[in-house]
Every structure is written in structure tokens, then in C-alpha cells.
Amino acid sequence: MAAEPNDLELVQQVLAGRTEKFEVLVRRYQRLVATAALRMGIPRQEIEDVANEVFYKVFRSLHRYEPSHALSTWLYRITVNAALDHRRSRRHDAQSDEIPESLAGTGPSALEEAGERERATQLQEALGRLPEHYRTPLLLTHVEGLSIEEVGRVMNLPEGTIKSRLFRARAQLKEIIRRHYPGLAPEGAFEGTA
């Protein structure tokens, strides 16, 4: 039994006319795309639409894929852009600013779960107050676990810009929490600040 082809081999096969091989890439990366879109704030009921849009864009621009970078990084970039476009087009919908449930913890009791849901809602609101150009790198590094270099490739920005945006995002988020959601801060976190 032959080993399944790697990403580059699949891309080359698709570009050579074997378009049925694209389905292997979709199966391989559909979870990554769906999870990234969810973490970018796309409501669960709209994930499939965004994922379909992402894979449509990937298929149409596969000839632009740069093999020196991981295919997953390129997919993240397309997914982030599609999620941001989707959110902009649905800005009037209050659900479009949801952040992933993965930021909410679960507790053993109903009371603890309710408290965690409230904290998650407050964190969602606090993150929603950040401008997108700060929120996106923050989510990609702290939720998705991407390195600064990977975030730079996804957002098509220099690493220095990503570092700067992360610094500003953290500072703004701290101020938003201090002013509007002090219950989210650890005990004594803002003592001595005006």
C-alpha cells in the first residue's frame, strides 16, 4: 500500500489537472479551517459557509501557493481573511462578534459553569472592543498558538509589526478590562493605577 502523498505532491497533482486530488487536501485541512474560523469569531452555524468559501479561494489560487512555506500557514492566511471579510459583512449581527467557546472553561458544578460562561461573555465583549488589526494577531498567537513568524506570514506583515500590534493589543485589552470588566482581572492586578 502506497503512502498518501504529501501536501506539495497533492498541489502539484491538482495543478496538473487531477482536480479530484483536491478533495484529499480538503479532508486533510477542513478541521484546521473550521477551527480557525470559529476562533476568529464566526458563529458555528456559519462555519460551513466560510470553510466552503476558503476552499473555493484555495482551489482558484492554488497556482499562487509558495511551497517554501507550509500549506497550513497559507490556509490560515486565507481563512483569517475570509473570516474577517465575513464578519465585516455581518457586522450588524450581534452574534458575529462571538469568540470561541474554547476560551470558556468548564467547571464541575452548574454554578461554576455559569460563572465561567459569564467570564467568557465578558472576555468576548472585551476582545470585541479591540480593533480587528489588534484582535487578529492576539487570537492567532494566544488562541491558535501560532508563532509571531507564522502570524506574520498569515497576515502578510513583518514580524516587527506583529510584535508591535501584540504589545498594543495587550495594553488596550488590559485597559478595557480595567475600565469595563474589572471582575476579569486577577485580584490586585490594577492596584495603584488611576
- Give 171-183 pLDDT, tens digit per residue: 998 898 888 888 7
pLDDT confidence bin for 122, thresholds 50/70/90: confident
Distance (Å, rounded) from C-alpha 129 to C-alpha 89? 18
- Could you identify the residue written with the cell 476560551? 103
Distance (Å, rounded) from C-alpha 50 to C-alpha 108? 34
Residue 25: phi and psi, rounded to 5, are: -65, -40
Axis-axis angle for helices 22-39, 71-89 (nearest 10): 50
Q: What residue numbers bound the domain in which 11 lies?
A: 1-98
Instruction: Tell me the pLDDT of the chain averaged across its residues.
Output: 81
Distance (Å, rounded) from C-alpha 129 to C-alpha 176? 8
The last residue of a domain, from among 98, 119, 147 = 98
Q: 161, 165, 185: which is closest to 175 by C-alpha?
A: 185
The last residue of a domain, from among 44, 69, 98 = 98
Q: Is residue 114 part of a domain?
A: yes
Do 94 and 125 fall into the same domain?
no
For the question of whether the overall pTM of this predicted structure is more than 0.75, the answer is no
Do 145 and 93 fall into the same domain?
no
Q: How many domains does the chain have?
A: 2
Do 2 and 86 fall into the same domain?
yes
pLDDT in tens, 147-178: 898 888 888 889 999 999 999 999 998 898 88
